[in-house]
Amino acid sequence: MNKKILIIGGCGFIGHNLALKLKKENYIVSIVDSLGVNNLKTVRENDITNKKLYKKILENRIKLLKKNKIKIFIKDAKDKKIIQTYKKIKPSIVIHLAAVSHANKSNKEPQNTFENSILSLQNSLEYCRKEKQTHIIYLSSSMVYGNFDGKKVKENTVLKPIGIYANLKFAGELMIKSYNQIFDLKYTIIRPSALYGERCVSRRVGQIFIENALNKKIISINGTGEEKLDFTYIDDLMRGIILCVKKKNSINQTFNITFGNAKKINSLLKILKAEFPKVKVKYKNWDKFTPKRGTLSIAKAKKLLGYKPTYSINVGYRKYITWYKNFFKNSI
């Protein structure tokens, strides 16, 4: 059995955590990453308040990958020449993560988002098309559902994406399915939601709350805080992806991989306030380009994969706060 796995965008938040987990499972893991999106180059070139902290977190990612002898090819996944690197590695599975990871940033930088999301995916698909036995695993997003309208969404729920980020994720799914129809490409699509966890610098909700509390800044909440998200700890997503790697019945399927029980944003805030009681909060009008989400059904992943998440926000978010406080303390 060929246990070679190539992760495109593997130095990012999801990618580096996944690479480390797969290495422990004795897979031969390689990474392609330009370090230009959501990474070191982004931090250097942009006006980020916590530039020093972010740089240390990102350097810590690279250090962990190198310590575990995970090969990193610093190359542009958008460049057609990257297929030569694929051929050199000869992976049996390509896990495609390359993308701009923040919806707000995508709406501000549509061309950059398109290039990093679609052009890089095109190269992965072309390699997998020619190497018939290669399985592509694509990380989509819960954003493709659009507004949940108070319902628990299933994988066959009609998709109504809002904004550039969500629509490009949807486009990625359509590209993959078209390659499956025409070329019999083996694929798995994963839709995660509201991720949080160690070494994240993507400015997601859970990260920004802790970061602002540590820096004694006001936390700004979109809406009333009563809106719900299916908060998912990074280790639960890793568990789901690895099951998709191992299980043959993941092929040609789409899965919601989340905790499966949405909680109010104010519930996350309550956990934070237990650690930072003096933190100040302000609420602002809802951004019309942000869909109102909720719970994703994980019944299909449970049935076909045996997926079982273990980290509620009461456990996972407290764990993340502890890590962030310690890292922050040692970085200033």
**Tens digit of each residue's pLDDT (9 = 90 or more) over 243-278:** 999 999 999 999 999 999 999 999 999 999 999 999
Give residue 47's pLDDT.
Answer: 46
Residues 2-30: what's their mean pLDDT? 95
CATH topology of domain 4-195+233-259+295-310: Rossmann fold (3.40.50)
Decide if pLDDT at 313 tops 90.
yes
SS3 288: coil
Partners of 254 in beta bridges? 189
Give residue 309's pLDDT.
Answer: 98
From the list 252, 242, 245, 184, the residue with the least C-alpha distance to 1 is 245
- Token pair, residue 87, equals 């051929």
Decide if pLDDT at 22 tops 80.
yes
Which of 53-57, 235-239, 324-328: highest mean pLDDT? 235-239
Task: Measure Cα distances from 26 to 20, 32, 136, 185, 307 in Å.
Answer: 10, 19, 19, 25, 20
d(CA 16, CA 123): 21
Averaged pLDDT score across all residues of the chain = 91
d(CA 10, CA 21): 12
From the list 141, 137, 193, 136, the residue with the least C-alpha distance to 169 is 141
Domain residues of the chain, as ranges? 4-195+233-259+295-310
Give residue 142's pLDDT.
Answer: 96
Beta 28-32 vs 71-73: how paired, if at all? parallel
**What's the number of CA atoms in the CB half-sphere (13 Å) around residue 142?**
30
Contacts of 39 (CB under 8 A, 6+ apart): 11, 12, 33, 58
* Residue 144: DSSP 8-state: G
Decide if pLDDT at 83 tops 70.
yes
Decide if pLDDT at 45 tops 50.
no
Between 258 and 57, residue with greater pLDDT: 258
pLDDT band at 39 (very low <50, low <70, confident <90, very high): low
d(CA 327, CA 199): 9
pTM for the whole structure? 0.94
d(CA 115, CA 46): 19
Give residue 1's pLDDT.
Answer: 58
**What beta strand segments (E) does 97-217 contain?**
135-139, 186-191, 195-196
Identify the helix (H) or strand (E) that includes residue 89: helix 82-89
Tell me the one-letter amino acid at 321: I
Decide if pLDDT at 53 tops 90.
no
Q: Residues 289-300: pLDDT tens digits?
A: 889 999 999 999
From the list 202, 174, 10, 204, the residue with the least C-alpha distance to 96 is 10
d(CA 292, CA 312): 21
Between 80 and 47, residue with greater pLDDT: 80
